Amino acid sequence: MNRRPRRVRTAPFLLVAVLAALTGCSAGGGTTPPTTPPARISEATAPAPVKSTAPVRPLGRSLPVRVRLPAAGVDTGPILSLGLNADGTVEVPSEADADRVGWYEKGVTPGETGPAVLIGHFDTARGPAVLRNVSKVRTGDEITVSRADGRIAVFRVRELEQVDKKTFPTAKVYGDTERAELRLITCGGELVDGHRPDNIILYADLVATRAA
């Protein structure tokens, strides 16, 4: 197996990634906001990043089929495949799929070397969505991704970050990495004209693999 299989290279995706802040992650038209409290990462929620563990041997390419994040009550599948919109922005799950998580198919699959990217809604005009409890996640919590090859990739949250979409950390999220990593992205902050202005990003490292 290639030592660095299907790596995501930063440069070709730079413009795409700048637009990949979840601009499509909204809570409706701005007239009647949902009752869901705004997602916010506080100092208690996001202490200093934990130290990375020793690298785990990465897996080959295989599509993700289910994601579990017990700390936020997430157990959902099948995973959606997300590509690019006509304007070059990254797709997000539709409102009808607000209870599901999507995988950015232009990147690596979870467990491969590189940063695999998962995206889900915090809420929509219909109400709370799959990542409505993201504020409960702490560093050290586990995210498991079941794959089509029958393997499960186990990730540990190393860092949580809340950023304004206008200053989305493109290179940090989509840039090349030497190990298998995961990013889970949703929206946060107080509603502004029916949209949440921030992105909440979970950075996680592969810490184990096992058979399903």
User: Which of 110-141 are b and which e, b meaning 16 or more Cβ less than 10 Å from the residue's Cβ?
Assistant: bbbbbbbbbbbbbbbbeebbbbbbbbebebeb
Is residue 188 within 8 A of residue 41, CB to CB? The reply is: yes
- On average, the pLDDT of the chain sits at 82
Cα→Cα distances 122→7, 26, 78, 114, 151, Å: 29, 9, 18, 25, 28
pLDDT per residue as tens digits for the range 25-76 = 543 333 334 446 666 765 445 555 666 667 789 999 999 999 999 999 999 9
Closest CA to 122 of 208, 26, 53, 211: 26
Give me the CATH number covering residue 173.
Answer: 2.40.260.10
Give me the domain span that covers residue 113: 11-211
Please report whether residue 164 resides in a domain: yes
Q: Around Cβ 15, how many Cβ atoms within 10 Å?
A: 11
Please report whether residue 181 resides in a domain: yes
Please report whether residue 172 resides in a domain: yes
pLDDT per residue as tens digits for the range 105-119 = 999 999 999 999 999
Total domains present in the chain:
1
Please report whether residue 168 resides in a domain: yes
Closest CA to 5 of 107, 74, 92, 79: 107
Closest CA to 17 of 129, 189, 169, 152: 169
pLDDT per residue as tens digits for the range 139-160 = 999 999 999 999 999 999 999 9
167 phi/psi in degrees, rounded to 5: -120, 40
Task: Please tell me the pTM assigned to this model.
Answer: 0.82
Q: What number of residues does the chain have? A: 212
User: Is the confidence at residue 15, as pLDDT, over 60?
Assistant: no
Omega cis (within 30) before 47? no
